[in-house]
Amino acid sequence: MAGVIVAVHLAALAVLLTSEYGPFAITLSLLAWVFVNCLLLLVLPRPGVCAAIALALIVLLIALSRFKFGILQLSLTFLDFLIIDRDTFSFLLSVFPRLQTQLIVTGIVAVPLLWLIWRFDPFRVRRRLALIGLAASIASISAMSVAWPEQPWEPFQGINHISNLARSGVVAVSRLASTGWIDADPPANAPLRLAREARAAGLSALPPDAACDANAKRPHIIMLLDESSFDVTSAPGIKVPAGYTDYFKSIDGKQRTMMAEATGGPTWYTEFNVLTGLSARSFGDLKFYVTRITAGRVTRGLPQALQSCGYKTFSLYPTYGNFLGARSFQKGAGVGHFVDMADMGVNQDMQPDKFYFDQALKVFAREQPQQAPVFMFVYLTANHFPWTDVYRPDLTPPGWTPPGNTAEVDEYIRRQTMTANDYREFTERLKRDYPDESFLVLRFGDHQPAISQKMLEPGIDQATLAKRVMAADPRYFSTYYAIDGINYSPSSLSSALETLDAAYIPLVLQEAAGIPLDPSFAEQKRIMLRCKGAFYDCRKGAEARRFNRLLIDAGMIKGL
């Protein structure tokens, strides 16, 4: 039996050595292995069974981490276990429908094996020794994690799964112990001043009963999330087709910049910004899980404000609704009708933009007889990575000629041209099919593409790029937003500054639609004006923290 136990430990060592790279990561993963074994020994003082369970657990964690990286380009972290919800499991079953059967079969095979090891394991470990080992491994992991903090790009490398998981636990526990889930002024910090500010802003009675006349004639509102799109002429030496920049201009002929809180990937940061009007950066290292953290806990945002004005609210979501808790988050934010990939009758989450425009037209055709104004949040996906392959060559615009950049950049611009053509056809359809209806459209790039550094700073090394991103270099976070009207002229563009943070997009939409701002948005507009379009970065986060506290005290942010 001793040989079996040694063999299990050697197998675990082989697994860790083949998945971890560098002395630091290997040492941390071995300490994590000791931690898991000692934790199990506190419950089951038989080293054979504990070693077998620990090996199975390590292998499972690495497999899950690789699976997650394949979808999100991020390895497994401690928060994946801290925030466990039904959506997480349903998403796994949606992507891998056979997973449930495989887990049952694995359990049927594993339970008898573990029983045999238990039955013939003659060794016992005192719980005191296990407790000492557990305490020593925790102390060592914590000390190493503090001495060599995790760099922001490390979880996005797809390696060192166990060591990254262990270190993320230290980061998450430290963050939650010090500030909680969200950055906000503490209630003990001048509570009388905060209460006075809340009353002055009208936040003590949200929303006011007469904030909006729901019977007034208002435009339908379409908010388009333009995947990975920005004006590439901001990069040096990039060649573009004639008229390329016209797509980024608003109805008044101006070109405006939106500052996103992500670059190269996380669409859901901007999704959170534009639906709630809040900053994902307020969640610090936990922001990657912002939609899961805030699902049902943030009850203030653009959809709620529009619902109070009689709007029916829709979201056409391009993948499964249980992805990162999107359905729960958006419904909590006021989206009344959440339509995901399955509801649209497709099983692939990257469709041509015309597909989503056609889905929007179907919703309007269905809702038109009811005469209620419609708000629709529509996602476009044709410009999603990678750009190394030609996506749907059959949809290449007539007369398209590559401008003469690298093949990857030309493919990126080709897809932008496809989007521009599909958008033009969509607006022409609305104008033709609904001549008596008015539409307000606001479209924006959710973040820059992952290849933007190849355009902005060709040849930049990863370390320098990481520093740029950590310092929130605006070159890497600038996209665009544009406002259009169909049979409609925007009521006011006073909030449509030349450059503004994504969290202010709800302000722009409401004022352009002639919707009176509720007290929370009126207060946020005052922040926008005095901070010149910045939100989280204004006064080193002080404005965002104060505003978060006002919303917490008003009951619009709960349980965070």
Quickly state the pLDDT bin for 319 (edges 50, 70, 90): confident
Answer yes or no: do 248 and 109 share one domain.
no
Question: With a threshold of 0.85, does the pTM exceed it?
Answer: no
Q: Of the candidates 297, 298, 289, 295, which has an alpha carbon nearest to the alpha carbon of residue 269?
A: 289
> Could you give the CA distance from residue 517 to residue 505 in angstroms, rounded to a whole number?
13
> Could you give the CA distance from residue 457 to residue 235 in angstroms, rounded to a whole number?
8
415: tokens are 């897809």
286 within some domain: no
Higher-pLDDT residue of 507 and 287 is 507
Cis link prior to 191 (omega < 30° from 0)?
A: no
Quickly state the pLDDT bin for 206 (edges 50, 70, 90): very low
Q: Match 């939409």 to its residue by tokens.
A: 509
Average pLDDT over the chain, rounded to an integer: 84
List, for residues 497-555, the tens digit of each pLDDT value. Answer: 999 999 999 999 999 999 999 999 999 999 999 999 999 999 999 999 999 999 999 88
Answer yes or no: do 137 and 233 share one domain.
no
Residue 426: enclosing H or E segment and its boundaries? Answer: helix 407-433
Q: Of the candidates 80, 419, 413, which has an alpha carbon nearest to the alpha carbon of residue 242?
A: 413
Residue span of the structural domain in which 112 resides: 2-178
Answer yes or no: do 370 and 407 share one domain.
yes
Over range 124-142, report the average pLDDT: 84
| pLDDT for residue 204 is more than 60 | no
**Which pLDDT score is estimated for 195?**
45
Q: How many domains does the chain have?
A: 2
Answer yes or no: do 143 and 220 share one domain.
no
Neighbours of 276 (CB within 10 A): 28
Task: Please tell me whether residue 176 adopts helix, strand or coil conformation.
Answer: helix
Q: Sign of torsion, CA 141 144 147 149?
A: negative
Task: Report whether 507 contacts 525 (CB < 8 A).
Answer: yes
274 within some domain: no
Q: How many CA atoms lie within 13 A of 338 on its CB side?
A: 17
Answer yes or no: do 243 and 312 share one domain.
yes
Task: Report whether 374 contacts 314 (CB < 8 A).
Answer: yes
Helices then strands, counting H and E runs in the chain, come out as 21, 8
With the CA atoms of 112, 115, 119 and 122 taken in that order, what torsion angle do they form, in degrees rounded to the nearest 10? 120
Quickly state the pLDDT bin for 314 (edges 50, 70, 90): very high
30 within some domain: yes
Higher-pLDDT residue of 170 and 374 is 374
Beta-bridge partner residues of 337: 314
Answer yes or no: do 107 and 203 share one domain.
no
| pLDDT for residue 9 is more than 80 | no
> Could you give the CA distance from residue 107 to residue 110 in angstroms, rounded to a whole number?
5
> Could you give the CA distance from residue 386 to residue 215 in angstroms, rounded to a whole number?
46
Q: What is the CATH number of the domain that holds 306?
A: 3.40.720
Q: Of the candidates 25, 32, 57, which has an alpha carbon nearest to the alpha carbon of residue 159?
A: 25
Answer yes or no: do 408 and 513 share one domain.
yes
Answer yes or no: do 150 and 243 share one domain.
no
164 within some domain: yes
Answer yes or no: do 114 and 164 share one domain.
yes
DSSP code, position 368: G
327 within some domain: no
| pLDDT for residue 205 is more than 50 | no
> Could you give the CA distance from residue 364 to residue 330 in angstroms, rounded to a whole number?
20
> Across 54-68, 202-216, 219-233, 259-273, which has the greatest mean pLDDT?
219-233
DSSP code, position 491: S
> Could you give the CA distance from residue 109 to residue 235 in angstroms, rounded to a whole number?
57
342 within some domain: no
User: Per mean pLDDT, which range of 190-194, 384-388, 483-487 is the poorest?
Assistant: 190-194
Answer yes or no: do 135 and 159 share one domain.
yes
| Domain end (from 128, 147, 178) | 178
Residue 226: enclosing H or E segment and its boundaries? Answer: strand 220-226
471 within some domain: no
The contacts of residue 489 (CB under 8 Å, 6+ apart) are: 251
Task: Please tell me whether residue 483 adopts helix, strand or coil conformation.
Answer: strand
7 within some domain: yes
Answer yes or no: do 144 and 92 share one domain.
yes
Determine the longest span between alpha carbons in the chain, in angstroms. Answer: 84
| pLDDT for residue 189 is more than 60 | no
Answer yes or no: do 197 and 142 share one domain.
no
Cis link prior to 207 (omega < 30° from 0)?
A: yes
Q: Sign of torsion, CA 199 203 209 212?
A: positive
> Could you give the CA distance from residue 393 to residue 479 in angstroms, rounded to a whole number?
26
**Which pLDDT score is estimated for 147?**
80
DSSP conformation letters of 174-211: HHHHHT-SS----TTSSHHHHHHHHHHHTTTS-S-TTS
**Which pLDDT score is estimated for 209?**
39
